[in-house]
């Protein structure tokens, strides 16, 4: 099957995304590679859904009754895409827009590099003035990529340990072999968990530095989060570390206790009472959900796993 006959479905999860959704969809409409689009709305209370229905009649919308979180909502969109017999699924954040050639270039890379299961373009800031600052944290230790960038000898694709899921082109084969995101994650961490599962099952995660997208999101410190956001973030980090498929679950759990005990003490010494309470709350949640976490860890290690 040639590249031009490939079917690509774009899955966009929205939650109060009216400020960005038109730019996201219109960038896809200008794509040199034709795509189908499904929006999964997580019970937005702004004009997101009405905007899409008014301006984009050919965009499918799946409206969730409540905010299911990013992982579960994305899975709804992925399942819908797979039911249509697609070759690839493009996951796109609501605050991301792509260049006209982005999808075509990513599809070509997956065609010529079948050992890759996920490919991401280089995310720039929304105005295109520089690399997304959050993404810089993930490439700072990639010596080969940084060396090639300084010597202007960039390759088509680089293998990565992790690329955040702002823009992912994922093969249907990977989705059928690995499954979708783990619904135990509400927000944060689900893409890190998925990357480690994909790599565990023998697929590569890649970055295409010559292919670009534009991401609104910027970095923020733990302290800038609300208490609820801190709880979600700390829980996601603990959950991710417990689910490392290459390690025994008990080993991960026992190593979690001293690590987070030290972090709790450091936060308390910093007089960050909000952060300390968030860690205690998150660790308590881990204990409550320890059995399903263990169960998901076990299932994730199986090829062709069920959708957790």
What SS3 state is found at 37?
Answer: strand
Q: Flag whether 261 is in a domain.
A: yes
Q: Which residues of the chain have pLDDT under 70?
A: 1-4, 140, 143, 146, 149-151, 217-224, 306
Distance from C-alpha of 206 to C-alpha of 86, rounded to nearest angstrom: 20
pLDDT (tens digit per residue) in 243-258: 999 999 999 999 999 9
Q: Helices (DSSP H) in 113-271: which residue ranges? A: 133-139, 143-150, 172-178, 190-200, 227-242, 249-269
Task: Identify whether residues 124 and 273 lie together within a single domain.
Answer: no
Total number of domains in the chain:
2
Q: Output the pLDDT for position 147.
A: 74
Q: Flag whether 209 is in a domain.
A: yes
Range of the domain at 282: 222-300
Task: Identify whether residues 102 and 244 lie together within a single domain.
Answer: no
Q: Give CA torsion, residues 87, 173, 242, 224, to 10 deg.
A: -10
- The answer to whether 107 touches 171, Cβ cutoff 8 Å, is no
- Which of 179, 198, 215 is at the close of a domain? 215
Task: Identify whether residues 258 and 164 lie together within a single domain.
Answer: no
Task: Identify whether residues 165 and 226 lie together within a single domain.
Answer: no
Which residue carries 């979180």 as its tokens? 69
Strand 88-93 to strand 60-63: parallel, antiparallel, or no bridges (unpaired)? unpaired
Task: Identify whether residues 126 and 173 lie together within a single domain.
Answer: yes
Q: Flag whether 307 is in a domain.
A: no
Residue 15 to residues 95, 166, 303, Cα–Cα distance (Å): 10, 15, 32
Task: Identify whether residues 141 and 274 lie together within a single domain.
Answer: no
Phi, psi (degrees; rounded to nearest 5) at 72: -65, -40
Task: Identify whether residues 210 and 226 lie together within a single domain.
Answer: no
Q: Output the pLDDT for position 219.
A: 43
Q: What is the pTM of this model?
A: 0.92
Distance from C-alpha of 176 to C-alpha of 190, rounded to nearest angstrom: 17
Continuous segment of H or E residues that includes residue 9: strand 8-14
Task: Identify whether residues 199 and 256 lie together within a single domain.
Answer: no
Q: Flag whether 305 is in a domain.
A: no
Task: Identify whether residues 151 and 235 lie together within a single domain.
Answer: no
Q: Output the pLDDT for position 220.
A: 40
Task: Identify whether residues 171 and 81 lie together within a single domain.
Answer: yes
Q: Output the pLDDT for position 62.
A: 98
Task: Identify whether residues 128 and 274 lie together within a single domain.
Answer: no
Which residue carries 């010559």 as its tokens? 210
Contacts of 133 (CB under 8 A, 6+ apart): 125, 218, 219
């Amino acid at each position: 099957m040639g590249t031009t006959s490939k079917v690509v479905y774009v899955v966009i999860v929205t939650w109060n995304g009216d400020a960005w959704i038109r730019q996201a969809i219109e960038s896809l409409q200008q794509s040199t590679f034709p795509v189908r689009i499904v929006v999964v709305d997580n019970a937005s209370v702004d004009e997101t859904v009405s905007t899409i229905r008014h301006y984009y009649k050919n965009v499918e919308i799946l409206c969730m009754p409540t905010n299911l979180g990013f992982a579960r909502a994305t899975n709804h969109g992925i399942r819908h895409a797979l039911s249509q017999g697609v070759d690839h699924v493009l996951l796109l954040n609501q605050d991301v827009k792509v260049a006209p050639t982005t999808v075509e270039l990513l599809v070509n890379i997956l065609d010529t590099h079948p050992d890759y299961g996920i490919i991401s373009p280089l995310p720039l800031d929304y105005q295109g003035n520089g690399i997304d600052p959050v993404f810089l944290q993930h490439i700072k230790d990639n010596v080969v990529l940084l060396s090639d960038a300084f010597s202007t000898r960039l390759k088509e694709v680089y293998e990565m340990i992790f690329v955040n899921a702002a823009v992912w082109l994922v093969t249907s084969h990977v989705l059928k072999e690995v499954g979708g995101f783990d619904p135990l994650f509400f927000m944060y961490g689900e893409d890190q968990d998925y990357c480690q599962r994909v790599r565990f099952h023998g697929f590569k995660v890649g970055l295409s530095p010559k292919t670009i997208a534009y991401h609104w999101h910027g970095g923020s410190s733990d302290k800038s989060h609300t208490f609820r956001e801190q709880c979600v973030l700390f829980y996601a980090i603990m959950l991710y570390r417990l689910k490392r498929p290459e390690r025994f679950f008990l080993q991960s759990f026992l190593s979690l206790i001293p690590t987070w005990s030290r972090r709790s003490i450091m936060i308390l010494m910093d007089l960050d009472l909000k952060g300390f309470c968030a860690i205690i709350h998150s660790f308590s949640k881990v204990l409550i959900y320890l059995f399903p976490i263990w169960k998901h860890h076990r299932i994730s290690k199986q090829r062709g796993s069920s959708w957790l």
